[in-house]
Structure 1
């Protein structure tokens, strides 16, 4: 929602829970006690086809900086993500006021197929080429021995 310019939205998720009522820890003191608790959220009732229902107002997530990793990109910030990296990187990039993308392969503008671009350059403010030899600690290949 934050990347789409939606400041907040109503949802049934969280109605009647501590999420809506407030009091969840946001920050702890060094001794483990709660330093800052979440405030209560606005709950409104709307008439729906199924009758009146309560909804909780959720604020969109936005950040000062978005750091994303792309398989390929161009100087204009158009990015292509690899496999599961496509799940959240485009959304995270859109939600940041400043998006910094590290790309494994930097290509010239026009070399990327527009149908394969997952995050348009309008959302990306800086591009850093890191190459393909960087360590990717989250990516591990596991192979099952034959016959198992």
Structure 2
């Protein structure tokens, strides 16, 4: 287990997909994320078997001010499994709403990207301006249809008391 802020995770995935080995960020400076010692794995008795290492911290001058930055390594995965609303047979994808946040980055970071799409269309049926991820990153496509169970998507409605 590794503690990674959400923005740093997004950038680690983007860097991995772009072929960038590592980058510096201000996020985590002065915390255990940079100083190391956070539990990565526990032993059988509840002790720490593997702790996070100390990360490289450097000072850079930016806009006339010196600031510290932590080195973060990129993430490259063997496989990326993503879900898209629509895709064509060339692998061009359109994501639905918040699925656009991490799916393109995860797809780019994978050596092999496998996509499940709700709707598979012919090339040319997706407006080029509507493509969220070009097909160059996609290796396999599986059409699953729109009636698949999405356990994380639940509509919740609360009743407002009268007069409120």
Q: TM-score, normalised by structure 2?
A: 0.83
- Is the aligned partner of 1:48 residue 2:62? yes
Q: Which residue number corresponds to residue 144 of structure 2?
A: 130
CA separation of 1:144 and 1:50: change in aligned 2, threshold 3 A: same
Q: Report the equivalent of 2:96.
A: 82
Give 1:32's match in structure 2, choosing from 33, 46, 52.
Answer: 46
Q: Distance in 1 between matches of 2:54 and 2:39?
A: 12
Structure 1 pair 118–21 and aligned structure 2 pair: CA distance change class (3 A): same
How far apart, in 2, do the equivalents of 1:7 and 1:126 lie?
Answer: 26
Mapped to 1, the partners of 2:47 and 2:21 lie a distance apart of 31
Q: d(CA) in 2 for partners of 1:13 and 1:92?
A: 21
What is the Cα-based RMSD across aligned positions, in Å? 1.7
Equivalent of 2:105 in 82, 86, 91: 91
Which of residues 95, 102, 105 in structure 1 aligns to 2:119? 105
Q: Secondary structure at the match of 1:66?
A: strand
Which secondary structure state, in structure 2, belongs to the residue aligned with residue 115 of structure 1? helix
Gaps of 5+ in 2: 1-14
Task: Please report how far the alpha carbon of residue 142 of structure 1 lies from its aligned counterpart in structure 2 after TM superposition.
Answer: 2.8
List structure 1 segments (4+ residues) > 4 angstroms apart after TM superposition. Answer: 144-148
| Equivalent residue number for residue 20 of structure 1 | 34
Distance 1:52 1:115, change over 3 A: same
After the TM superposition, which of the residue ranges 65-74 and 29-38 deviates more from structure 2?
A: 29-38
What is the CA deviation profile of residues 7-48 of structure 1, one whole-angstrom value per residue up to 9, with x for unaligned ones? Answer: 111111111211111111111223221111111111111223
Q: 1:41 to 1:145 in 2, by over 3 A?
A: closer
Name structure 1 gaps, 5 residues minimum: none
Per-residue deviation, residues 71-113 of structure 1 (Å, max 9, x unmatched): 1111111111111111111111111111110001111111111
More helix by share: 2
Tell me the matched-pair count.
148
